Structure 1
Amino acid sequence: MKTLLTAAAALLALQAPAFAEDLDFLLINDSSADLVEFNVSPASSGSWEDNLIDGGYLAPGYEIGVLIADGATTCVYDIRGSFADGSEAEDYGLDLCDLGEYTFTD
């Protein structure tokens, strides 16, 4: 019985790196306009994911915690923000596994 448990534990340990890890970071709006749309997509994707603040906004000078639990095993993402004044900002190839915060500025 001990051998069976050891084999099962070893199998789980080998599979652990394949499981996705939730990514969380602090999003800060240090711009002069409300952030009205915020998209995060894996860098390998050809399109943007859904707006993470749909129906809301992040006012200048405020921050919010962002949790990405998309099941992906990648750490590298692209970020896009759209603002109430019509401006947009995009950033590519960010390692969200190491990112503690992301700040939008003018």
Structure 2
Amino acid sequence: MRMKLLAGGMLLTLAAPALAENWDFVLVNKTGKTIKMVEVSVAGSGDWKKDKREEDQGPGTIKPGDDYTVHFEKDPKVCKYDVRMTFEGDETPIIWTGFDTCKFAFGDFALNGGTPSVKGT
């Protein structure tokens, strides 16, 4: 009887949906600037979280033209995220809004005349 309860409890644990999961997408730096920090937030929420890879490996930079895998905690009910980048030198953050992580694994993040734009692939 005790084994059946234990096994049943384990099955319930396995069947329970995760509230959040680690996720990633590839950021292609087409901004023409060196990126110092990447943060991700559910679109429109303003609840910024540092890229998890950055937390693990310490500060680094993403040079123009480089690809960088952004690791973040994804809410399974949400597809669109805002991406905020801080650049080396001017320290000014710029926000790209509504990047769809359900549709796109790669994003070409660019600045066109200072205006952020992203093309997902």
TM range (shorter): 0.5 to 0.7
Structure number having the greater strand percentage: 2
RMSD: 3.2
Indicate if the aligned counterparts of 2:51 and 2:71 stay in contact, CA closer than 8 A: no
Could you tell me how far 1:18 is from its partner in structure 2? Answer: 6.2
Structure 1 unaligned regions, length at least 5: 1-10
Structure number with greater CO (CA < 8 Å, separation at least 6) is 1
Going from structure 1 to structure 2, the CA distance change for 1:74 and 1:65 (only over 3 Å counts) comes to same
Structure 2 unaligned regions, length at least 5: 1-11, 112-121
TM value normalised by structure 2: 0.60
> Which AA in structure 1 matches 2:68?
I
Q: Sequence identity, in percent?
A: 29
Per-residue CA deviations over 1:43-98 (Å, capped at 9, x if unaligned) read 25333222553511101111112232x25223321111121142543122222111
> What is the count of residue pairs matched by the alignment?
103
> Which AA in structure 2 matches 1:42?
V
Match for residue 84 of structure 1?
88
CA distance in 2: counterparts of 1:18 and 1:51, whole angstroms: 20
CA distance in 1: counterparts of 2:51 and 2:27, whole angstroms: 14
